[in-house]
Amino acid sequence: MNKKFFAIILCVLILFSGCQQGSDLQVYRTTDHLEGEAKWTMGFGRQEIAMPTDDSQPYYIAGYNSGWETDGVMDLQAAQAVWMDAGADGILLIGVDCIALSSTTVNEIRQRLQPLCEETGCTAINVYSTHDHASVDTLGLWGPTLIDGKNDEFMENLINAAVDAATQAAANRITGTLYYGFTETDPAMLRDSRDPQVFDAKLHQLRFEPDDTAEPGIRMYLYGAHAESLRGDNRLISRDFPGVMCDLIQEQTGDHAMFMPGAIGGLIMTQVLDDYMIKNMMDTGRKLVDYALSIDNEVVVEANLQYAASSMEIPLDNTGFLFYKFLGILGNEAKPGDSATGYVLVSEMTALQLGDMMFALIPGEIFPELVWDGEYAYHNPEGVNPTPLAEIAANHGYDQLLVVGLVNDEIGYIVPPSDFLVHPDTPYLERIEDETGENHYEETNSVGPKCATVIADTLEYLLDALQ
* pLDDT, position 181: 98
Q: How far apart are the first and last CA of the chain?
A: 49
Distances (CA, A) of 285 to 78, 196, 244, 292: 17, 26, 5, 10
* pLDDT, position 146: 85
Give the separation between CA 51 and CA 445, rounded to whole angstroms: 28
* pLDDT, position 406: 98
Q: Is the peptide bond before 196 cis (omega within 30 degrees of 0)?
A: yes
**pLDDT tens-digit series, residues 22-72:** 348 999 999 999 988 999 999 999 999 999 999 899 999 999 999 999 999
Following DSSP, what letter does each residue of 174-202 receive, concatenated? EEEEEEEEEEEPPGGGEEESSSS-----E
Among candidate residues 30, 24, 23, the one with its CA nearest the CA of residue 352 = 30
**pLDDT tens-digit series, residues 272-308:** 999 999 999 999 999 999 999 999 999 999 999 999 9
* pLDDT, position 322: 84
Residues of the chain with pLDDT under 70: 1-23
